[in-house]
């Protein structure tokens, strides 16, 4: 299986690609951290491939997709994982620069990847798109209004996309549950330590994600607590 995934330099993305590769799948990933991407390229050579790409920049995503699709090899599984968290504060204290950056990564970044990869999948009427959502995409909490907004948007975007895909494809919004990642620690500090590590989560999550298919089109799925 050919898997394209964003946000592979740390957290859930980094943990997932290890499980996918161990299972024998080809992983094409991107992230913003140049040093981490270099490490992945050295550690996992072809057929895997990793590139420095900021998904918020449509032109960069276009170039990346063109490279990946050069031989008309559409992904079997496309995972939009890249996301950032806002600075914890009331909504009225979030300045325009911070808010715009979050929208650019968490919402526009997902659409940029869909725009440049999904047409090749649609042409073959085959493949699954998994957009990472959150428990905060189905509920809310104080201090994280911008992040909640972005993940509620992902839920709606994914369900609408599911209505547009041809028979044989699927789009799934996936809430990974509460995982001890850098992002969670930015919200809960040491309180995050009581939750599963990303590597532990990925061992359970990877087989579930790989099993998503037509039956799951439009589903809001959850893995973990």
Does the bond joining 31 to the residue before it have cis omega, within 30 degrees of 0?
A: no
Of the residues 20, 64, 117, 147, only one is catalytic, namely 147
Q: What three-state secondary structure class fits 30?
A: strand
147 is catalytic: yes
Measured between alpha carbons, how far is 23 from 222 in angstroms, rounded to an integer?
A: 22
Angle at 121 between CA 201 and CA 218, to 5 degrees: 55
Q: Which two tokens stand for residue 95?
A: 């300045």
| Half-sphere exposure at residue 113, Cβ-oriented, CA atoms within 13 angstroms | 31
Helices of type H across 82-213: 96-103, 109-124, 145-164, 182-188, 198-210
> Tens of pLDDT along the chain (225 residues)?
999 999 999 999 999 999 999 999 999 999 999 999 999 999 999 999 999 999 999 999 999 999 999 976 899 999 999 999 999 999 999 999 999 999 999 999 999 999 999 999 999 999 999 999 999 999 999 999 999 999 999 999 999 999 999 999 999 999 998 886 566 555 555 655 566 789 999 999 999 999 999 999 999 999 976
Using an 8 Å Cβ cutoff, are 173 and 167 in contact?
no
- End-to-end Cα spacing for the chain: 28
Q: Is 3.40.50.620 the CATH number for 2-222?
A: no
């Amino acid at each position: 299986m050919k898997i394209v995934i964003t946000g592979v330099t740390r957290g859930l993305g980094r943990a997932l690609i290890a499980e996918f590769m161990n299972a024998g799948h080809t992983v094409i990933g991107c992230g913003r951290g140049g040093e981490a991407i270099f490490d992945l390229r050295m550690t996992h050579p072809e057929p895997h491939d990793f590139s420095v790409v900021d998904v918020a920049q449509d032109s960069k995503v276009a170039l990346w997709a063109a490279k990946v699709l050069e031989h008309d090899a559409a992904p079997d599984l496309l995972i939009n994982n890249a996301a950032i968290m806002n600075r914890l504060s009331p909504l009225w204290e979030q300045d325009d620069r911070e808010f715009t950056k979050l929208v650019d990564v968490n919402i526009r970044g997902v659409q940029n990847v869909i725009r440049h990869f999904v047409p090749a999948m649609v042409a073959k009427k085959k493949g699954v798109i998994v957009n990472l959502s959150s428990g905060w995409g189905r509920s809310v909490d104080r201090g994280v209004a911008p992040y909640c907004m972005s993940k509620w948007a992902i839920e709606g975007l994914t369900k609408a996309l599911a209505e547009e895909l041809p028979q044989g494809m699927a789009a799934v919004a996936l809430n990974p549950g509460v995982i001890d990642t850098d992002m969670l620690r930015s919200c809960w500090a040491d309180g995050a330590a009581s939750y599963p590590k990303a590597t532990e989560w990925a061992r359970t999550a990877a087989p579930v994600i790989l099993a998503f298919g037509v039956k799951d089109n439009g589903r809001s799925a959850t893995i973990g607590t």
